[in-house]
Amino acid sequence: MKVKGAVLCGGVGKRLRPLTYYFQKTMIPIGKRQKPLLEYIVKLLKYHNIKNLVLLVGYKHEQIVNYFENGERFGVKISYVVDSPEYKGTGG
């Protein structure tokens, strides 16, 4: 059975300010290696053999798309769904 992973990463991240003035919240560097939080999530999904991912993005989504591109560098396939500005903050 093929499993597709969906990762929600579209919010503004107001509670993480001032970091989110510059970074998209899932792109904040963490840990010793200072890799984006989302990179750890992508690698964990790959470890569990979930290699087809859909990232639901919105605020500063360009940072995510520029970093992950199509996912080839991480051994996964990534596609993107960009949130419509008219629905911001509604959870849908």
Which amino acid appears at position 23 of this protein?
Answer: F
Which amino acid appears at position 6 of this protein?
Answer: A
pLDDT of residue 78: 97
Strands (E), the chain: 4-9, 29-30, 35-36, 52-57, 77-82
Domains of the chain plus CATH, in order, are 4-87 (3.90.550.10)
The gap from C-alpha 32 to its chain's centroid, in whole angstroms, comes to 20
Q: Residues 6 or more apart from 23 whose CB is under 8 A from it?
A: 29, 60, 63
pLDDT of residue 87: 66
Write the pLDDT tens digit of every residue in 7-58. 998 878 778 788 778 888 889 899 899 999 999 999 999 999 999 999 999 8
In terms of phi and psi (left: phi > 0; alpha: psi -120 to 50; beta: otherwise), the region of 17 is beta
Q: How far apart are CA 39 and CA 25, in angstroms?
A: 12
